[in-house]
Structure 1
Amino acid sequence: MSEEALQSFFESVPGQVLTVATIFLLLVLIMRSSKKKNDVSVLVKSAILMGVAFVLNQVTLFRMPQGGSITAFSMFALFLVGYLFGPRQGILAGMAYGLLDLVINPYVIHPIQIFMDYPLAFGAIGIGAILRETKQGMITGYLVGVLGRYLVTVVSGIIFWGMYAAEGFSAVSWSFFYNMTYMLPEAVATVAILLIPQVRQFFEKYKQE
């Protein structure tokens, strides 16, 4: 399928319906993958955090010319799903969020690029939740999650966006540099806030064992 056909499909009603149906399925899996057979509270809280992440993502502090932006802690809001409820829930919520981003702002050129830039990149943020029970697990887990998203985005940039590399850069060096310019500042600002003990303690109260 050509780039134009893919873009047209995901901008069309059938494409958006398919994507929304997939989001719904992922949300159901979030509810059913908790320790209880069904936990509606996990679903509701995860959906709220995804909504918060989406709203914060609209608060753009700086937007890069070729995609990506520094936002108001949107990655942390998404990471919280995994931190509070477990890595599986975090990964599923990230994938659902990525598909929501695809519905709102689709930019597609290849089926694999769709998977990497949307569900896989955002789902990778949830991987950091594997450190949720370790010392300083909130900070280190968040950084691992951001690193996961960064690496997926870098690989996608090398494969699919290398043609847009700035003069003097190779596809590899440009992708490493470009994606760092918007993820690193947000990560640094978030960690600075999380170094405040009262902030971490506030979220710790809601962590589900």
Structure 2
Amino acid sequence: MSKTSIRPMIEVALFATIAYILDLVTQPMSIGPWISLSFKMVPIFLLSFRWGVGAGAMGGLIWGLLQVVTGQAAGGWLTLTQGFLEYFVAFSLIGISGVVKPVLDKAIIQGKKLKSLVYITGGILLGGFSRYLIHFIAGVIFWGSYAPKGQSPYLYSFIVNSSSFLGETLASLIVFFALQRFLGRLLNTEK
């Protein structure tokens, strides 16, 4: 196995574990009654921007798998299909943010910081939305019966999942914007 193929595999395992640990040990910071900032998706986004869609998807999958095998997902697992969707498919879809890697790399090489942040924002929005779209669908199908009496399962799932989507996406954007000065070094996989 070559050195170039081992390094991304090590980072996939490491970043997935960091996401899992952040999920376990950090408490979301509330900003208003509906949104709580949470930084747990940041390692998967970083992985996706460094190595692309495949590595990001694998990192998300491992993060979801860690939640299942450690029992953290126990309260959120209703059926085999629902659990598969919400812990394997949804978490893997965070990796789709890596589709911006080629244009992001080019913008970073050219020193175009604003353009880099635009691509990062697009990647984070795409990855976060893809994950929460699956959670929304599962919310309608599997969790809809928990909606308050008279409330549509669609509205219920939207309310429950949109607050998480907004909080985690906003937190991820804040981190990458704060690190903009270091993006060239942070996302460089050549060294």
Band of TM-score, shorter chain: 0.7 to 0.9
| Structure having greater relative contact order (Cα 8 Å, sep ≥ 6) | 2
Q: Specify every segment of 5 or more residues in structure 1 that has no aligned partner in the other structure, as ranges.
A: 1-31, 64-68
Q: TM-score, normalised by structure 2?
A: 0.78
The residue correspondences of 1:30-179 to structure 2 (distance < 5 A) are 39-58=5-24, 59-61=26-28, 70=36, 72-104=38-70, 105=72, 106=74, 107-134=76-103, 135=115, 136-179=118-161
Q: Specify every segment of 5 or more residues in structure 2 that has no aligned partner in the other structure, as ranges.
A: 104-114
- Give the root-mean-square deviation of aligned CA atoms: 2.5
SS at match of 2:92: helix
The percentage of aligned residue pairs carrying the same residue is: 27
Deviations 1:104-133 (A, max 9, x none): 222422221111110101001001111122
Could you tell me how far apart the structure 1 residues matched to 2:175 and 2:55 are?
24
Q: TM-score, normalised by structure 1?
A: 0.71
Could you tell me how far apart the structure 2 residues matched to 1:115 and 1:84 are?
27
Letter in 2 for 1:81: L
Q: Give the superposition deviation at 1:150.
A: 0.7
Quickly say closer, same or farther: Cα 1:138–1:109, change in 2 above 3 A: same
Q: Give the superposition deviation at 1:194.
A: 2.1
Q: Give the superposition deviation at 1:60.
A: 2.0
Letter in 1 for 2:86: D
Could you tell me how far apart the structure 1 residues matched to 2:69 and 2:164 are?
22
SS at match of 2:102: coil
Could you tell me how far apart the structure 2 residues matched to 1:199 and 1:129 are?
18
Structure 2 contact 15–59 (Cα < 8 Å) conserved: no
Tell me which moved more, 92-101 or 118-127.
Answer: 92-101
Q: Give the superposition deviation at 1:202.
A: 4.2
Could you tell me how far apart the structure 1 residues matched to 2:182 and 2:161 are?
28
The size of the alignment, in residue pairs, is 169
Could you tell me how far apart the structure 1 residues matched to 2:162 and 2:185 are?
29
Could you tell me how far apart the structure 2 residues matched to 1:200 and 1:139 are?
13
What residue is the counterpart of 1:7 in the other structure? none
Deviations 1:11-54 (A, max 9, x none): xxxxxxxxxxxxxxxxxxxxx8xxx6972111111211112111
